[in-house]
């Protein structure tokens, strides 16, 4: 089942996606949907010694993989500090010298903090010839306000320039406007839903798109980049009441190019973020060849966020487990890392 078919089915039946919360004594407590958890009885000095021996001997990849995928990001940061203090060499540089290809890439990704990894992916997406617009939208549409602010800080620290300036230089038109709007990090993050606002926004979007000769893109950008996910979900349902088509279909009819992909991406993320990532992973392994960058980016960045839910959506949408497709499309120690990030079977 494609994402848009799932979206259409849910909207028609007036279903909101699960918000991932559980009520405890009158308060909403977020559930943990990550697949990587802190390792019990953790010892940074012990892990640093084990990794040093594994790297300096015959490069024991089994040991390296076992340590990296079974430690939380916070624990990996502590290992990095101890490793450098005891060996005099940075762990990422040691692994870069010891490993190759996809295993090297995913191992180095696991050693970065979430903000460092996102900043690195954004720089890679805008460096050299061409721009990977899809990565820009994916990261900016799925991170919280606090995370975006931290990404901007790290980006300036690592690359000596403002992320906003890079976006302005590498993109153009309405697409630039939409990206800069997301970079402002002023999206409403409350879980409260205002039904009247949803109705007004649905009417505004209808008037700005289908019910006019041209399309008022700024109205779409303003609403889609500032409302919360739950609020937008209700707006999408209200849109179905004033239009004969779903909002993604309307955007597909009215827009073209990067701005179309951007706004549809924001809609998908707002409606069901895990399904959005499940589709990304599926497309990365569909047909001939595999997009390793996408596999690494999604599995590493979501392993302590919502990878369990992504895996559930993957099976529901494609009638096969994510692990089965990884087994089919990858091999060796690289495969072992990806499967390890998916958690125990």
Q: Read off the CATH number of the domain in which 320 is found.
A: 1.10.220.10
| Within a domain: 227 | yes
Domain range for 61 is 44-99
Say what the pLDDT of residue 14 is: 63
Residues 290 and 318 in one domain: yes
> CA–CA distance from 288 to each of 237, 285, 338 (Å)?
37, 8, 19
90: helix, strand or coil: coil
Which of the listed residues 183, 217, 233 is the one where a domain comes to its end?
183
On the question of pLDDT at 18 being above 60, the answer is: no
| Within a domain: 231 | yes
Which of the listed residues 71, 99, 127 is the one where a domain comes to its end?
99
| Within a domain: 104 | no
Give mean pLDDT, residues 67-91: 98
Share of the chain above pLDDT 70, in %: 91
Give mean pLDDT, residues 213-217: 85
Task: Dump pLDDT digits (tens) for 23-41.
Answer: 444 556 678 999 999 999 9
Q: Which two tokens stand for residue 310?
A: 């992504």
| Within a domain: 226 | yes
Say what the pLDDT of residue 129 is: 81
Residues 195 and 253 in one domain: yes
Residues 86 and 130 in one domain: no
Report the number of distinct structural domains present in the chain. Answer: 4
Residues 177 and 193 in one domain: no
Average pLDDT over all residues of the chain: 93
More confident residue, 127 or 128: 127
| Within a domain: 106 | no
Cα 138 to Cα 123: distance, rounded to the nearest angstrom: 14
More confident residue, 262 or 8: 262
Contact status, residue 259 vs residue 217, Cβ threshold 8 Å: yes
Which of the listed residues 132, 152, 183 is the one where a domain comes to its end?
183
Report DSSP state, residue 17: P
Residues 241 and 193 in one domain: yes
| Within a domain: 253 | yes
Residues in the chain: 345
| Within a domain: 33 | no
β-pairing, 27-30 with 21-24? antiparallel
């Amino acid at each position: 089942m494609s994402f848009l078919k799932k979206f259409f089915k849910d909207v028609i039946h007036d279903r909101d996606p699960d918000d991932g919360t559980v009520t405890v004594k009158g308060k909403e407590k977020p559930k943990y949907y990550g697949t990587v958890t802190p390792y019990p009885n953790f010892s940074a000095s012990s892990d640093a010694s084990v990794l040093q021996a594994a790297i300096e001997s015959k490069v024991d990849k089994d040991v390296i993989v076992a340590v990296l995928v079974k430690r939380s990001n916070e624990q990996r940061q502590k290992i990095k500090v101890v490793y450098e203090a005891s060996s005099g060499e940075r762990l990422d540089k040691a692994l870069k010298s010891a490993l190759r290809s996809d295993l090297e890439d995913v191992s180095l990704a696991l050693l970065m903090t979430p903000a460092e990894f996102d900043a690195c992916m954004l720089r890679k997406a805008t460096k050299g010839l061409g721009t990977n617009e899809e990565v820009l939208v994916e990261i900016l549409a799925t991170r919280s306000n606090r995370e975006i602010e931290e990404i901007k800080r790290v980006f300036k620290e690592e690359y000596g320039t403002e992320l906003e300036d890079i976006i302005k230089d590498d993109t153009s038109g309405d697409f630039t406007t939409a990206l800069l709007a997301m970079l402002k990090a002023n999206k409403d993050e409350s879980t409260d839903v205002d039904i009247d606002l949803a109705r007004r926004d649905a009417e505004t979007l209808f008037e700005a798109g289908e019910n006019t000769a041209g399309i008022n893109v700024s109205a779409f950008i303003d609403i889609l980049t500032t409302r919360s996910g739950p609020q937008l979900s209700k707006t999408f349902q209200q849109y179905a009441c004033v239009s004969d088509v779903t909002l993604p279909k309307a955007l597909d009819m009215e827009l073209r190019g990067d701005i179309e992909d951007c706004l549809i991406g924001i809609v998908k993320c707002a409606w069901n973020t895990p399904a959005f990532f499940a589709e990304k992973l599926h497309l990365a392994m569909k047909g001939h060849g595999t997009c390793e960058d996408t596999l690494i980016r999604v599995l590493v960045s979501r392993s302590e966020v919502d990878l369990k839910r992504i895996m559930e959506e993957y099976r529901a949408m494609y009638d096969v487990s994510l692990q089965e497709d990884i087994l089919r499309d990858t091999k060796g120690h690289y495969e072992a890392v990806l499967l390890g990030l998916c958690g125990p079977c």
